[in-house]
């Protein structure tokens, strides 16, 4: 009698283990389906990258222009209200550095956003 009870308890134990394994596998599959999303690309990668570059350039150009104007105003005010020639010369040097940096930042951005696409078809042999 004890052997029958042991055998039936082992079978029940195996059934509960297999039930848990099946439940965990089904849950994992359901979570996998739930978290996966389909990607429907309207444009190719290079077109989208070009749009992103142009958008980032426009934002950087706007921010750098505002900051260059603000820092230029600070440099000019510092030069005008300064009481010795050394500070005036330093203020004008900073003003030159600000506008050179602004020109470099906007020049690189303009090249990447507008000039580079003009040369995109020139590297092919027809």
**Mean pLDDT for each consecutive 10-residue tract of the chain (126 residues)?**
58 72 89 78 77 83 91 91 90 93 86 74 59
Same domain, yes or no, for 3 and 61?
A: no
The predicted structure's pLDDT at residue 77: 92
The total number of structural domains in the chain stands at 2
Collect all residues with Cβ–Cβ distance below 8 Å to 74 and sequence separation of at least 6: none
Same domain, yes or no, for 29 and 63?
A: no
Q: Are 91 and 76 in contact (CB under 8 A)?
A: yes
Same domain, yes or no, for 49 and 68?
A: yes
Q: Are 88 and 82 in contact (CB under 8 A)?
A: yes
The predicted structure's pLDDT at residue 99: 93
Same domain, yes or no, for 31 and 50?
A: no
The predicted structure's pLDDT at residue 94: 92
The predicted structure's pLDDT at residue 55: 85
Q: Find the domain containing 10 and state its range.
A: 1-37
Same domain, yes or no, for 27 and 75?
A: no
Exposed/middle/buried for 75, CB within 10 Å: 0-12, 13-18, 19+? buried
The predicted structure's pLDDT at residue 72: 93
Same domain, yes or no, for 25 and 85?
A: no
The predicted structure's pLDDT at residue 53: 79
Residue 24 is assigned to a structural domain of this protein: yes
Sign of CA pseudo-dihedral 65, 68, 73, 76: negative
Residue 94 is assigned to a structural domain of this protein: yes
Residue 3 is assigned to a structural domain of this protein: yes
Residue 49 is assigned to a structural domain of this protein: yes
The predicted structure's pLDDT at residue 68: 92
Residue 124 is assigned to a structural domain of this protein: no
Q: Are 55 and 63 in contact (CB under 8 A)?
A: no
The predicted structure's pLDDT at residue 12: 62
């Amino acid at each position: 009698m004890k052997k029958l009870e042991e055998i039936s308890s082992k079978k029940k134990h195996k059934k509960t283990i297999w039930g848990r394994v099946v439940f965990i596998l089904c849950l994992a599959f359901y979570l996998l389906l739930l978290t996966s999303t389909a990607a429907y690309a309207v444009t190719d990668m290079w077109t989208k990258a070009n749009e992103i570059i142009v958008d980032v350039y426009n934002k950087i150009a706007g921010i750098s222009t505002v900051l260059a104007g603000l820092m230029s105003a600070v440099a000019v005010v510092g030069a005008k209200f300064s009481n010795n020639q050394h500070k005036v010369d330093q203020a004008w040097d900073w003003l030159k550095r600000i506008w050179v940096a602004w020109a470099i930042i906007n020049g690189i951005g303009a090249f990447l956003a507008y000039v580079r696409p003009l040369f995109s078809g020139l590297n092919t042999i027809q």
